[in-house]
Structure formats: structure tokens, C-alpha cells
Amino acid sequence: MDVDRSLRRLGAHAVDLISEAELRKKLERGTPLRVKLGIDPTASDIHLGFAVVLRRLRAFQDLGHTAVLIIGDFTAMVGDPTGKSTTRPRLTREEVDGHARSYVEQIGTILDPDRLEIRRNSEWLAGLGMEDVLRLTSQVTVARMLERDDFAKRYAGGTPISLMEFLYPLLQGLDSVEVRADVELGGTDQLFNLLMGRHLQERAGQEPQVVLTTPLLVGLDGTQKMSKSLGNYVGVAESPAEQFGKLMSIPDSALEMYLIHATGWEPDRIDAALAALRTGDLHPNRAKRDLGQAVADRYHGPGAGEAAEAEFDRVHKAHEVPTEMPEFALPPGTELAAALVAAGLVTSRREAVRQVGQGGVRLDGEVVSAATDVIAPGVHVVQIGRRRWARLDVGS
């Protein structure tokens, strides 16, 4: 095994690597490493932002190492305070289990199942007694916890911090002890938690894990972190057309980050594309099309990107109706506002009224002027904006 080449591949575009010397030492032993990634199943979808670190985990697998995926079914019910200004609401066991099933299914499109070990941290955390918890808390000071940026800001601002939140980094660190992780991956916002794993491993007499962090992919707005709650995300399970259309909307300023972290291209191709963008030989619009094709092919197979681009042009250049869209059967006498809610195109009647008032809703190609209009019996195509479409089958 070429250790130098492996280091370059694994460390490419990483933000933190603590430390390269330790990772080199582990690689030089020539035995497969246990590379840990923890994920709290707090939502049902995985988006391109989380796929950045999943792809880095896949890179370790491709070099012969074992991916240890920790499904944080226990810690999800505690609530990770990372980046939060308030305590996160706790989830129910049923919610966590449902999200976990969805995560595992989607992760299977990225990771190699033959080199994947999936564990739930309830295996060791659910059985902790009071003596275990006290022993764990004795291994870190309050001053150390307040070194964490979000805790420090909340404490200085007088915003409550629960003791349960203080426990979260300890529980995540204990995961590393239990699975004897050699390396742990995470986004830059997880650095404190990952370092806690090193600390607890040392206290347990284990060799500390190497910590490697990846950048946080910005969302479609080009500013805030990609997040489903902010609506600025691209889901790995979304249709090729939806993925392509969303990626065509990103600002030019975000192109470099997306080309590096979302395409899956080899470094040489990424460097060539970025150089061409800077010289003007590659137009940003063409770069976005290449990006959209790469993402669609990656999650839906070869050819999906080319078909998605053709569909995008059909709808947005030729102004034709999409070939595929969700269909909904509605009873006779359904008003437009109710139909938009039923089709999932808006979240509420109020939003439907607002969209109609702004002239953003078309029914069979014509702008609608009243949200209270009753839709005539038959099959109709309704559109909001450029990407939200549905076929409505209204009974007679």
C-alpha cells in the first residue's frame, strides 16, 4: 500500500486532520482501520451536505478499511447542541426508529455494504447506570465543556444550557471507546465532540482516534449550511430532474464548493474545471449543468444526468410540461387552495392564497387569479414557480 498516496486521497480538502502523523502511523501498520462516523437520525432524508462526509468514509472503504456507522438512536433522543442557540426538542423512540430505517436505506447508495459495520449506540448507552454516568462525567471539567463555542455563547448570553446537553459530547465520545475507533469523521461543527472521543479513549487506555473533519456544504442559497429545515437542500433520494433543477439554481459563488464536494470527480478533473471557470473557458451555466449531471448519475446511475438535463431544457427552455409529476385524485368541487395543499405544493391554505395573489400559480398553463376558484372536473396540470408541478384528477 502506498501510504503517501493514501494520505493525499484521504486528506484531500479536509479542514482538520488531527493528526497527519498519527494517521500515517496507523496506515503504515498495514491492517484495516476502524473508521467511525456517527449520525443521529433526526430527519428522514440525507442531503448532499451529509453526503460529503459519507463520501470520505467511502474513500476509506475503497482503501480496504472498515466503516463503522453509529446510528445514534440513543443520542438522538438526548439532542445534539451543536450549533444550536436553544435546547433541541427531544424525539420519540418511534420517530427515531423511522428515521433510522430511512437513513440506512439511503446510505446504502453511497457506502460499500461489504465493508460496513452498523451499530446503534443504545447497545451500550441505554444500559448505563448512575455509577457509570458519574464515572463518565468525572473525566471532563465544566471549564472544558465551556470551551465549546456554542456553549460559551449561550452561557455568556444567559441562554439556558441543560446538564443533559453537557452529556452529549461525552456520550458521543463514549461511542468511540465502545467501538475502538481508529479514526472518526465529521463536519467541522463536530470538532469538539470528535476531540472528546480522543480524550475518553486515552482515559480508557486506548490509542486515541485520528480526527478528520470535512467542510459544511452551503445550501442552495449559497450562504447558510445545507439543511432540510431551511429548505435549501438537495436530497440524495430526490428524482434526477429535481436534483438537476435545484443545482441549476445555486449562485455562481457556490460552484467551486459544489464541484469539489458534490461531484465525486477525481482531483485532476476538479482542478481543470476550476481553472477553466477562472479563465472564462468554462461558463458557470455549463459548469452547473455538469454538476447536475454528475450528481444525478452518482445517485441514480449512468445516463440519469443526461436525461435530467434534457427534461430541464424541455420544461425551462421550450416551456413544455414535465413528462413526470406526482398525480392526485380529488373530489368534485375542490377549490384551488385546497388542491394545492392536498398535492403538497404548499404547506397551508394561507400560503396557497399568497402564491395565487403573487401570480405564481398556473392551472393548465394559465395564471390563476383566485384561490377560491373551484376546479372543473377532469385532469389538470398545476404549477407553482419553476419546479413545483402536479397533475390533478378532479372527479365529476
Question: Tens digit of pLDDT for each residue in 132-191?
Answer: 999 999 998 888 888 887 788 888 888 888 888 888 889 999 999 999 999 999 999 889
200: three-class secondary structure by DSSP: helix
- Tell me what percent of the residues of the chain surpass a pLDDT of 70: 94
- Residue 85, pLDDT above cutoff 50: no
pLDDT score recorded for residue 90? 65
pLDDT score recorded for residue 319? 64
Cell numbers at 195, concatenated: 476531540
Q: How many angstroms separate the CA atoms of 265 and 184, rounded?
A: 24
Say which residues have a Cβ less than 8 Å from residue 145's Cβ, sequence separation at least 6: 151, 166, 169
In angstroms, what CA-CA distances link 176 with 4, 282, 340, 390?
26, 44, 47, 46
Higher-pLDDT residue of 43 and 395 is 395
Higher-pLDDT residue of 213 and 94 is 213
Tell how far CA 169 is from the center of its chain.
Answer: 21
The three-point CA angle 30-36-38 to 5° equals: 170
pLDDT tens, 295-338? 999 999 999 999 999 888 887 765 666 777 788 888 888 888 89
- Residue 210, pLDDT above cutoff 90: yes
- Residue 243, pLDDT above cutoff 70: yes
Burial bucket for residue 320 (CB in 10 Å: 0-12, 13-18, 19+) = exposed
Give the CATH number of domain 327-394.
Answer: 3.10.290.10
pTM, 2 dp: 0.75
pLDDT score recorded for residue 318? 56
**Domain coordinates of the chain in residue numbers?**
3-214, 240-316, 327-394
The CATH homologous superfamily to which domain 3-214 belongs is HUPs (3.40.50.620)
Average pLDDT over residues 91-117: 83
Burial bucket for residue 31 (CB in 10 Å: 0-12, 13-18, 19+) = exposed
- Tell me what percent of the residues of the chain surpass a pLDDT of 90: 44
